[in-house]
Amino acid sequence: MTLSYSQSSPEDKIGAWYMFDGTHIVSDQISIKTDVQLRSYELLDNMNLMFYNLGINYKLNPKTTATFAYCFLDIDKSYASNGTPHLFENRFYEQICYNHNLGILPIYHRFRLENRFLNYVDKNIVKNRFRYCLGTKIKLNNCFFVNCSNEIFANLKGDVFTENRFYTAIGINLSKYNNIQLGYLNHQINGENLHRLQIGIFIKTDYRKLTKVAS
């Protein structure tokens, strides 16, 4: 990762997050979660983060899903005056998602506890934090929908509230299970106010028929 604007503030740039998100159903209760993200300092240049995620979802009931996942992050902070060229993070998280309706409005909640192992060049640090996301996904018609959410982060040690993400997007259904989302993310982190465009591809595959045939 090479950054050519080391003297620029990240707040001066319109960056981008590119996402490929997959959910792979293997039974009525269990699915596999995969996610790859590329985050860039500018729209098409200066990549500063690669994110890989693999998890397992267990549906407790029609409204509630529990998840356990592992993530690997390669982070480049060299745009900052005191930044570290590369920071590698191994992360585990435990999560509960709950969906319900508030009148005619669909609501989703996500509660996540993260265990973060940060590997710097000269030291290793362990951090833990809690995340809560509140959002809604509103169907406009068979083709389009709106996704809007806000997520707060709370560190369990040190400064508590150092990050918040507000996200809004227009979604386009490609099929019953697959969609593309084009959105805007306002990312407030460590005193910085960042503006990011998001492009996400979300797919869902269903292997239940194959597993039933195999059994």
pLDDT in tens, 100-126: 999 999 999 999 999 999 998 889 999
pLDDT of residue 82: 57
Tell me, what's the pLDDT at 121? 86
Q: Within a 10 A sphere around the Cβ of 119, how many other Cβ atoms?
A: 12
Residue 201 located in a structural domain: yes
Kindly give, in sequence order, each residue whose CB lies less than 8 Å from that of residue 140, ignoring residues fewer than 6 positions away: 146
Does the pLDDT at position 86 exceed 90? no
Round the average pLDDT of the chain to a whole number and report it. Answer: 91
Structure tokens at 140: 């406009």
Report the candidate in 16, 6, 13, 15 with the shortest Cα–Cα distance to residue 80.
6
Q: How many residues does the chain have?
A: 215
Structural domain that includes position 33: 10-214
Indicate whether 3 belongs to any domain: no
In a domain, 139, yes or no: yes
Helices (H), the chain: 208-214
- The answer to whether residue 5 sits within a structural domain is no
Query: Which of 40-44, 110-114, 144-148, 193-197 is predicted least confidently?
Result: 40-44
Residue 117 domain-assigned? yes
76 pLDDT tier (thresholds 50, 70, 90)? confident
Q: Judge whether 173 lies within some domain.
A: yes
pLDDT value at 132 more than 50: yes
Number of structural domains found in the chain = 1
* Total-model pTM: 0.89
Contact 112, 94 (CB under 8 A): yes
pLDDT at 30 over 50: yes
How far apart are alpha carbons 74 and 130 in whole angstroms?
21
Residue 214: predicted pLDDT: 57
* Direct distance between the N- and C-terminal alpha carbons of the chain, in angstroms, rounded to an integer: 47
Is residue 179 pLDDT above 80, yes or no? yes
CATH code, domain with 47? 2.40.160.40
What average pLDDT score do residues 26-43 get? 95
Whether the pLDDT of residue 2 is over 60: the answer is: no
CA 74 to each of CA 15, 64, 106, 123: distance values in angstroms, whole numbers, following the listed order: 17, 31, 35, 16
If pLDDT is split at 50, 70 and 90, which confidence band does 6 have?
very low
Q: Is residue 42 part of a domain?
A: yes
Q: Residue 215 has what pLDDT?
A: 57
Residue 4 lies in a domain: no
